[in-house]
Chain A
Amino acid sequence: MSIEEQMRHRLQQTAADMKCPDDLYERVWASSGKHIPKRLSRKEAARRGRIYRKPVVALIVAAALFLIVVASGFVSPVMAKSLKSIPLVNGIFKLAGDLGLKTAAEKGLTEEVHYSDSHDGITVNVKEVMYDGIRAVVAIQREAPGTESYFHGNYRGADGTIVVEPEGTKAVLRNVKLYANGEALNQTLDDPANPSPERGAVTWVDGGNADSVLINFMELSKPGQELPKLPESFGLTLELTLSGVEEVYTIEVPVKKNTNNVVVSPEISKEYDGIQITLVKAELSPISTKITLAAKAADHESAEYTGLGAGGELSKIQYELFDEQGQMLGQLSSQGEYRQKAPVLYQDLIYEPFASTPRQFTIRPYLYVFKDGKASGEFKLDEHGMPLKNYIKELEMTVQVP
């Protein structure tokens, strides 16, 4: 028998031996059945320029650095109570700020100010301002005699769990809107057909006691786009909404950048396994470090799987920053923009500052490992109970600072 005839016999015999299991039969039918009789609607194309934000969670807490993760913003109520009566001068940044803000306070790079607004017997004061061109931080303090509520609205209870002030509680900060020289920094959706451009991230975190809050604004880089950027000095308007108070608190604060930053635009690229990461810009101030990265598929074929969702697989890559002594800098925030046309994912990552201007630094990309070899879900933990990281050495970058 010729080899061809043998092939035919054997292969068809093998096929006859392979019967589709009953459960598989039923499952595929059930799954297909969902699409009958309607025709499938077209998948919605991802919106152009979809913005995402990764919340900085307790994952980033590295106890060894004695870092309070301000972004998660939780301080124990015991500490909060004891601080309630201490007058705070230059205090909020020093107490509740991240390493960068503490440094700013110590180095006198913050501005102590006195601006306020009052309604219903409740006063909100702006106490401190800091702006280094990377992030603008405003410390506000509430004076609300007789109020027991936590200004920020969330705090860590005595047993370690997060407590949220219930809906009806009075004098809790509910919303923050920021304007720079009258232009909105929050994205406004008053007219859904024409949302205002996303300027960046407006966030607010616990200020270290029951009456203080830190408000942050981090501008989104948007490389390659001609968009208004924050000037070096501007009038910042805060519109604050407190629960139980009808009027909006409006406070205007002059803001001025008071640092000299080092900017590096090396356009260093690393490529591995279909992914290309480019360091677009690194900006170093005494208070923050901002890294702007572009992540994209290295070729057309890879683009297919990297382009899912808001940068899809690309946005799963995390980045650690190390100084030349091998010390890791704590990450404070990240935000990004996925441009579907290119497609490319731009990310702004903000870290604590370097102790002094480094001669070089290293960016180490990594991926989290999940349980059972899955692509998402529960983190797999190391022997210290911290999420396991798989570093992608091939994409690591060491950047020289001239």
Chain B
Amino acid sequence: MRELDITPWVEGLAAGDQEAFRRVYEATVQDVYRTATFLLGNPRDVEDVMNEVYMKLWTSIAGYDSNRPFRHWLHGIVVRQVQDWRRKTWRRFRLFERKAMLEVERVQMAPDTSIVLHETSREMLEAIQGLSYKLRVVVILRYYHDYSLNEIAGILDIPLGTVKSRHHLALKALREHAVLLMDDKEEPYYVH
């Protein structure tokens, strides 16, 4: 979702045009899925967060300023929904679910049977999941979505200095990870 221009559909969205919704959904769902999966530790949460994201999208389309790039706005929604979700799930898990589960279930980035990942992809995912959440967000926005540090500060609504230091810490942590020490022989290709 590089230069997604949804201006043709914004009016339709606000007016409740099904066709417009469908178009926007199709154009964004992979991106939202991938972003949520990167950020959340538990794939079971991804579906719930995706539902929240799209609900938020439909209900707050009136607040979308079409002079701003759509993807900024969308990613802001995704990050906020993930954050809300984490707050609830983490708190719930600690007292109520942890107490309620007599066998402690390890929450892993267990691959869904429907996700088939190459080995390096799996390792990359592990490396990302190994980062603390705050660092992870910056990494995903920077290296998956290609935002500048400035843009990231805008999306997360935090000072640029904070973004810079988190970015620095993230790279420091990732440097240790084996997946990045391998020679890169494969042709990189970009997602559009």
Residues of A within 8 A of B (CB): 1, 3-4, 6-21, 23-25, 27-29, 31-33, 35-40, 272-275, 301-302, 304-305, 313, 316, 367, 369-370, 373-375, 388, 390, 392
- Report whether B16 and A1 are in contact in the complex, using a CB–CB cutoff of 8 Å: no
**Contact A36 B21, CB 8 Å, known A13-B121, A17-B117, A20-B30:** yes
CB distance from A101 to the nearest CB of B (A): 35
Name A's interface SS: helix
List residues 15-57 of chain B with CB under 8 A from any CB of chain A: 15-18, 21-22, 25, 29-30, 33-34, 37-38, 46-47, 50-51, 54-55
Name B's interface SS: helix
6 closest A-B pairs (Cβ-Cβ)?
A37-B16, A9-B188, A20-B33, A32-B54, A21-B114, A14-B121
Report the interface size class on chain B: 35 or more
Chain A residues within an 8 Å CB radius of B101: 373
> For the complex, what is the distance from the CA of A369 to the CA of B101, rounded to whole Å?
7
- Report whether A35 and B55 are in contact in the complex, using a CB–CB cutoff of 8 Å: yes
> B96 is contacted by which of A18, A32, A316 (Cβ under 8 Å)?
A316
Residues of B within 8 A of A (CB): 15-18, 21-22, 25, 29-30, 33-34, 37-38, 46-47, 50-51, 54-55, 58-59, 87-88, 91-92, 94-97, 99-102, 105, 112, 114-118, 120-121, 124-125, 128, 139-140, 142-144, 146, 171, 174-175, 179-180, 184, 186, 188-191
- Report whether A8 and B95 are in contact in the complex, using a CB–CB cutoff of 8 Å: no
- Report whether B18 and A37 are in contact in the complex, using a CB–CB cutoff of 8 Å: yes
Chain B residues within an 8 Å CB radius of A29: 22, 25, 29
> For the complex, what is the distance from the CA of A21 to the CA of B111, rounded to whole Å?
12
- Report whether A38 and B120 are in contact in the complex, using a CB–CB cutoff of 8 Å: no
- Report whether B18 and A390 are in contact in the complex, using a CB–CB cutoff of 8 Å: no
- Report whether B102 and A9 are in contact in the complex, using a CB–CB cutoff of 8 Å: no
22 CB < 8 A contacts A-B: A8-B146, A10-B179, A10-B184, A11-B128, A11-B144, A14-B124, A17-B117, A20-B29, A21-B115, A24-B46, A28-B47, A31-B54, A32-B54, A35-B58, A36-B16, A36-B21, A39-B58, A39-B59, A40-B55, A367-B100, A370-B100, A375-B97
- Report whether B95 and A3 are in contact in the complex, using a CB–CB cutoff of 8 Å: no
CB distance from B1 to the nearest CB of A (A): 11
Of the candidates B15, B55, B116, B139, the one having the most CB atoms from chain A within 10 angstroms of its own CB is: B55
Chain B residues within an 8 Å CB radius of A12: 143-144, 188-191
Chain B residues within an 8 Å CB radius of A28: 29, 47, 50-51, 54
- Report whether A301 and B175 are in contact in the complex, using a CB–CB cutoff of 8 Å: no
Chain A residues within an 8 Å CB radius of B22: 29
- Report whether A18 and B37 are in contact in the complex, using a CB–CB cutoff of 8 Å: yes
**Contact A367 B51, CB 8 Å, known A14-B124, A21-B112, A35-B59:** no
CB distance from A231 to the nearest CB of B (A): 41
> For the complex, what is the distance from the CA of A180 to the CA of B39, rounded to whole Å?
60
Closest to A8 in B: B143
CB distance from A141 to the nearest CB of B (A): 45
- Report whether A304 and B100 are in contact in the complex, using a CB–CB cutoff of 8 Å: no
CB distance from B179 to the nearest CB of A (A): 7
- Report whether B189 and A27 are in contact in the complex, using a CB–CB cutoff of 8 Å: no
Chain B residues within an 8 Å CB radius of A10: 120, 124, 179-180, 184
- Report whether B144 and A15 are in contact in the complex, using a CB–CB cutoff of 8 Å: yes
> B99 is contacted by which of A13, A21, A36, A367 (Cβ under 8 Å)?
A367
Closest to A306 in B: B91
> For the complex, what is the distance from the CA of A14 to the CA of B112, rounded to whole Å?
15
> A304 is contacted by which of B50, B59, B87, B102 (Cβ under 8 Å)?
B87
